[in-house]
Amino acid sequence: MALEICVKAAVGAPNVLGDCPFSQRALLTLEEKKISYNMHLINISDKPQWFLEISPEGKVPVVKFDDKWVADSDVIVGILEEKYPQPCLKTPPQFASVGPNIFGTFVTFLKSKDDNDGSEQALLNELKALDEHLKAHGPFIAGEKISAVDLALGPKLYHLEVALGHFKKWTVPESLTNVRNYMKSIFSRESFVKTRAAKEYVIAGWAPKVNA
| Rounded distance between C-alpha atoms, residue 34 and residue 54, angstroms | 25
- Backbone region of residue 137 per phi and psi (left: phi > 0; alpha: psi in -120 to 50; beta: other values): alpha
| Mean pLDDT value across residues 34-40 | 98
Domain assignments of the chain as residue spans, ordered by start: 3-83, 93-211
pLDDT cut 90: percent of the chain above it: 98
> Which amino acids are annotated catalytic?
20
pLDDT cut 70: percent of the chain above it: 100
Do 203 and 166 form a contact (C-beta atoms < 8 A)?
yes
| Rounded distance between C-alpha atoms, residue 124 and residue 172, angstroms | 8
Residue 212 has pLDDT above 90, yes or no: no
Q: Give the tens place of pLDDT for each residue, 143-190.
A: 999 999 999 999 999 999 999 999 999 999 999 999 999 999 999 999
User: pTM here?
Assistant: 0.96
Mean pLDDT of the chain: 97
CATH class of 93-211: mainly alpha
Q: How far is CA 117 from the centre of its chain?
A: 26
Do 84 and 35 form a contact (C-beta atoms < 8 A)?
yes
| Rounded distance between C-alpha atoms, residue 101 and residue 133, angstroms | 14
CATH topology (fold) of 3-83 = Glutaredoxin (3.40.30)
| Rounded distance between C-alpha atoms, residue 33 and residue 27, angstroms | 10
Q: Give the tens place of pLDDT for each residue, 182-191.
A: 999 999 999 9
Q: Give the tens place of pLDDT for each residue, 96-136.
A: 989 999 999 999 999 999 999 999 999 999 999 999 999 99
